[in-house]
Amino acid sequence: MSKRIVRSICALLALGVMASTASAQVPSKPKRIAHFHLSGALTEQPQEDPLGLTSGKMTSLKSLLERLDKARKDDSVRAIALTLGGLSMGAAQIEELRDALTKFNVVDKRVFVHAESLNTWRFALMSAATDVSVVPMADVWLTGFYGERLYLKNLLSKIGCEADIIHIGDFKSAGETLTRTGPSEAAAENLDWLIDGLYDGIVGMIAESRGMSSKQVRGLIDEGPYTAESALKAGLVDSVQYRDEFVETVRKMYGDDAIVDNRYAEKDGIDVDVSNPFAFFSVLTDLFGGKKKGTRGDSVGIVYVEGTIVPGYGERSPFGGSSGAYSGDISKALEEAAEDPSVKAVVLRVDSPGGSALASEIIWRATQQVRSRKPIVVSMGNVAGSGGYYVACGADAIVADEMTITGSIGVVGGKIITAGMWEKLGVNWVPIQRGRNANLLNTLEPFNDGQRTRIEDWMNEVYAIFKAHVQEGRGSKLSKALEEMAGGRVYTGKQALELGLVDKIGGLHDAIELAARKASIADYDVRVIPEPKNFIDMLFGELSGTGERPTDIAVRMKPLLTGPKPTLFDALLPLLGRMEPHRVAAVKQALQRIELLRGESVITMMPTDLVIR
């Protein structure tokens, strides 16, 4: 046998061994059950958390939807399992999560839910699962929802204050929170219609998911609440099991080799090699160095308008977002998106009850500058009303959930009269002025007739600008005259679609896909603008002089070191927050209106602070 033949045989044998070895090293795809534990607060704007400091306390809607979408497309994932730990979320967020769960039916993947307690809102979400299981002593609190409107007139009276408020639009009742002890007839009529729309949405979700008629669901709601066993008999849940039994049931369906992945698609925290004394410094270097930016491909940028709309720039906390939607931050983000050639389209995610008219105008203007260069689509979250609609109306398209609360086209203005409070404290103020209207916004006396007329004329101009923006942005899409839809009237997303105030029912992903289609891109990334900062960046960025805005460190540090003197309300707040968290949140939002009025006098806010449970 020639040497050439021997070498050829050896080569073939070697290739065979290598192929066999390679084949043996390629593991078969594991069978996964992707487990999602829903707890804490569901936020809108994502935040980097490399140290895991907020783990389990804050989850962004965007990241949760992305993880669910990945599980749906992952061939190794055979099913998903959901457990509940008191996730706090709004009606529109529930709708978006529910839609994400229903998409698993398309790929023939089952969705298992196991819960210890369900209220109406959580049940509407979890009913979208193929299998709903509760523990034997569970309470299924399917009773509908209960709402409370907040009024602070008597509170202001007790401290010697009075609100002098002007409304433009019969239904623009935002100031009633401060001036009345109950709703006006117009406000009650509008709010009842809004609540009917939300209730119809909840009933429709449950009816569709559980294969019942709306009449059946309404009847079951009126007979609630239910024990685990009675809920099973009523067809509201599919099984009653303890947690270990639930896990065993799922495993039996998919085999003992199925892996329950409790951290599916979660970002891992930072790993530090404790045996290396320099490892920690290496981690800090990476954190301070920030992300290395390479060449970017095509992307859709997301800019968030979350919270009360206020002028200027906010201070982001290392442990959460800033306390409002600041026009300076948002307009800067929109400018960045407009100028970045890799950003082909923008989605403006709005979850805001409105706020400052001036700040809303600044953000609206920034949206128009984006629109002149690339597509911009609005995605409405739980609330996008008044100023929230103001910033949205000029987009190429508006996408809202059926249960988004929107509209409230109108303005409110006024001031808080504090003379009685100072009198109770024994403090006298002696006014002095030059100029007929110099005392227009003084807090010692209400508007006189001439001042009231002047303020109303000014507010009517602001209102006219608001309506002009809506008319320009929506135009022929409106189903009837704008004046018949404005005046402060509030709508659900479904009602707004019928009126032409929005273009499509859908969630954040729908808005992203629509923006991409308008930009004619098929392969793209999704980027949050500005990029979420991590804990280290936010904690030390400003102090080191590397912040994005001018900083007066001395002014900022002084309150941190000395702190304001606590009030009785401050002392009671932790206790009240534990006892009545929803009510305390509503009171804080209502008091924020007083702060807005003090600074600006004209605001675009939703009509009422409503607590729904």
- Please state which of the ranges 6-10, 201-205, 241-245, 450-454 shows the lowest mean pLDDT: 6-10
Q: Which residue has the tokens 């009276």?
A: 157
pLDDT of residue 499 exceeding 90: yes
Confidence at residue 545, expressed as pLDDT on a 0 to 100 scale: 45
The values of phi and psi at residue 124, to 5°, are -60, -40
More confident: 330 or 424: 330
345 inside domain = yes
The values of phi and psi at residue 162, to 5°, are -145, 140
Q: What is the mean pLDDT of the chain?
A: 80
**Looking at this protein, which amino acid is placed at residue 51?**
L
Run of H or E including 132: strand 131-141
266 inside domain = no
- Average pLDDT value for residue range 581-607: 66
Segment of 20-29, 186-195, 317-326 carrying the highest mean pLDDT: 186-195
318 upstream amide cis, omega within 30 of 0: no
Q: In Å, how far are 47, 55, 63, 492, 543 from 283, measured between CA atoms?
A: 19, 19, 24, 47, 20
Q: In Å, how far are 326, 380, 542, 562 from 556, measured between CA atoms?
A: 18, 34, 10, 11
Run of H or E including 376: strand 376-385
Confidence at residue 431, expressed as pLDDT on a 0 to 100 scale: 81
**74-101 tens-digit pLDDT:** 999 999 999 887 777 888 999 999 999 9
Structure-block tokens of residue 393 = 């109306």
Residue 516 · residue 345 · CB < 8 Å: yes
Rounded Cα–Cα distance for residues 462 and 356 (Å)? 11
Q: How confident is the model at residue 440 (pLDDT cuts 50, 70, 90)?
A: confident
Rounded Cα–Cα distance for residues 465 and 411 (Å)? 11
253 inside domain = no
Domains in the chain, number: 1
Give the orientation angle of helix 449-474 with respect to helix 357-371, to 10 degrees: 20
Residue 144 · residue 195 · CB < 8 Å: no
Rounded to two decimals, the pTM is 0.77
Rounded Cα–Cα distance for residues 109 and 480 (Å)? 44
141 inside domain = no
More confident: 314 or 224: 224
Rounded Cα–Cα distance for residues 593 and 609 (Å)? 10
Core vs surface per residue 104-130: b (16+ CB within 10 A) or e: beeeebbbbbbbeebbbbbbbbbbbbb
Rounded Cα–Cα distance for residues 97 and 77 (Å)? 19
Confidence at residue 554, expressed as pLDDT on a 0 to 100 scale: 36
**355-401 tens-digit pLDDT:** 888 899 999 999 999 999 999 999 999 999 999 999 999 999 999 99
- List the CATH number of the domain containing 419: 3.90.226.10
Give the orientation angle of helix 327-339 with respect to helix 357-371, to 10 degrees: 0
The whole domain housing 524 covers 302-533+552-612
231 inside domain = no
Cβ partners under 8 Å of residue 229, min gap 6: 136, 240
pLDDT of residue 261 exceeding 70: yes
Confidence at residue 124, expressed as pLDDT on a 0 to 100 scale: 93
Q: In Å, how far are 410, 429, 529, 543, 590 from 156, measured between CA atoms?
A: 25, 19, 41, 39, 12
Rounded Cα–Cα distance for residues 354 and 351 (Å)? 9
Q: What is the dihedral of CA 543, 544, 548, 553, to 10 degrees?
A: 30
153 inside domain = no
45 inside domain = no
pLDDT of residue 550 exceeding 80: no
Q: Which residue has the tokens 């002007």?
A: 166
Cβ partners under 8 Å of residue 344, min gap 6: 298, 299, 300, 374, 375, 516, 519, 521, 524
Confidence at residue 421, expressed as pLDDT on a 0 to 100 scale: 82
144 inside domain = no
**Looking at this protein, which amino acid is placed at residue 558?**
K
Q: How confident is the model at residue 31 (pLDDT cuts 50, 70, 90)?
A: confident
Any idea what the Cα angle at residue 385 is, between residues 381 and 386, rounded to 5°?
Answer: 150
Confidence at residue 608, expressed as pLDDT on a 0 to 100 scale: 59
Q: Output Rg (C-alpha) for the chain, integer angstroms.
A: 28
- Average pLDDT value for residue range 583-601: 66
Among 151, 147, 172, 171, CA closest to 163: 151
Q: Which residue has the tokens 């907020």?
A: 54
